[in-house]
Amino acid sequence: KKRVLSGIQPTHDSFHLGNYLGAIKQWAQLQEENDAFYCVVDLHALTVETDPKLLQKRTLLSAAQLIAIGLDPNKCTLFIQSHVPAHNQLAWVLECMTGFGEAGRMTQFKDKSQKGGADRTNVGLFTYPILQAADILLYQADLVPVGEDQRQHIELTRDLGQRFNNRYLEVFNIPQAQIIKALAKINDLQDPNSKMSKSAASMSGVIELLDSSDVILKKFKSSVTDAGKEIKYDEKSKPGISNLLTIHSAFSGKSITEVENEFADKGYGDFKTAVADVVNSELAPIREKTATLMQDPAELMRILEIGGEKANQVASETLKKVYEAIGLAI
Ligand code: ATP
Ligand code: MG
């Protein structure tokens, strides 16, 4: 059995289609044959200033959505990052082994700090990938299922793990990113050249799993399309239509070519409605299940605490080896 680890930030009420197709759908599949650990990374979410009550609610909403999408707490270990103190503890050790320039080369930091402006950029955003490396290395993960935007962070994780193993002792397993190429970058419907993101300035191009069917139809209907009227996959000259084709294909289970053929003599309008339909028929039950789970927050917390105990066992074992290897007198 392989060890799988991944996480998602509770920075928004709802996950979006990119999270769903690029990451979480894989998580559900991987829990079947592997020893999978999945966490709601609430510490990472602190890089965005949030009302405390809202953060707490979003952490539960995140866990509820993960279960609604198919994560089974009896098959995988589902937990909240802050329930396992070893994440911060290992992060500090790794920070002391990371070059300043090395961290500065992370493109997510460059993008996000540019958007926020220097005044609003906190040090946590800078050290974010190192905390993420700790999340992964603590569990001796083999596979990390993520979207394309995380490739560089997983590369840093591998470098730090190898660096530690070479400098001190072979403590860490060196993980690999598991990225499904076709689904790893779902783009914003209003700006089809950039990725759909929780921290987008406007949600009008972001399909949220918890949006109502009407809102989803509206967002698809008003999505930016390209010149011409052919429904053909061409990332360069037709990024909008290509993105919609990817989404349709992921939900309908048909190949891109099959979808192109199906809509060969239809217009953009019909196609957009059809995309909304396939998406809504899969998301409607997920929305209902999420709402049902949210009616019993105490039960959700109970599930997450059980996961947290299991995670703590694995994580504290690794941390002890790390502390011994670097010469802390524990
Ligand atoms: P933010 O923009 O604030 O970082 P996010 O939308 O990237 O938020 P995360 O919680 O950072 O959400 O990422 C969770 C997972 O979803 C990661 O594995 C990430 O690679 C994946 N992911 C995020 N956006 C997309 C996307 N547009 N397409 C495919 N996968 C994505
Ligand atoms: Mg992200």
Question: What ipTM does the predicted assembly reach?
Answer: 0.99
pLDDT > 90 fraction of the chain, expressed in percent and rounded: 95
Distance CA(256)–CA(181), nearest Å, equals 14
User: Mean per-residue pLDDT for 55-66?
Assistant: 98
> Count of CB atoms within 10 A of residue 167's CB?
10
Which of 131, 146, 149, 188 to probe ligand 1 with, by most ligand atoms within 8 A of CB? 149
Nearest ligand (C-alpha, residue 40): 1
User: Mean per-residue pLDDT for 28-53?
Assistant: 97
> Count of CB atoms within 10 A of residue 206's CB?
22
Distance CA(241)–CA(229), nearest Å, equals 10
Query: In the predicted model, what is the mean pLDDT of the chain?
Result: 97
Q: Does residue 197 line the site of ligand 1, with CB under 6 A?
A: yes
Per domain, the residue ranges of the chain are 3-179+296-326, 203-291
3-state secondary structure 186-224: CECCCCCCCECCCCCCCHHHCCECCCCHHHHHHHHHCCC
Q: Does residue 195 line the site of ligand 1, with CB under 6 A?
A: yes
Q: Does residue 145 line the site of ligand 1, with CB under 6 A?
A: no
The more confidently predicted of residues 228 and 64 is: 64
- Position 330 scores a pLDDT of 85
> Binning pLDDT at 50, 70 and 90, where does residue 109 land?
very high
Catalytic residues: 112, 195, 198
User: Mean per-residue pLDDT for 136-165?
Assistant: 98
CATH number of 203-291: 1.10.240.10
Tens of pLDDT, residue by residue over 253-273, are 999 999 999 999 999 999 999
Q: Does residue 287 line the site of ligand 1, with CB under 6 A?
A: no
- Position 15 scores a pLDDT of 98
Tens of pLDDT, residue by residue over 277-306, are 999 999 999 999 999 999 999 999 999 999
The yes-or-no verdict on residue 6 having pLDDT over 80 is yes
The yes-or-no verdict on residue 166 having pLDDT over 80 is yes
- Position 115 scores a pLDDT of 81
- Position 119 scores a pLDDT of 74
Asked if domains 3-179+296-326 and 203-291 share a fold, the reply is no
Q: Does residue 246 line the site of ligand 1, with CB under 6 A?
A: no
Inter-CA distances, 95 with 6, 126, 305, Å: 20, 11, 28
- Position 106 scores a pLDDT of 98
User: Mean per-residue pLDDT for 105-132?
Assistant: 91
Nearest ligand (C-alpha, residue 58): 1
The yes-or-no verdict on residue 180 having pLDDT over 90 is yes
Element (H, E) at 146: none
Domain at 3-179+296-326, CATH class: alpha beta
Lowest mean pLDDT among 109-123, 182-196, 253-267: 109-123
Query: In ligand 1, which atom is closest to the CA atom of 145?
Result: 18
The yes-or-no verdict on residue 187 having pLDDT over 80 is yes
Nearest ligand (C-alpha, residue 41): 1
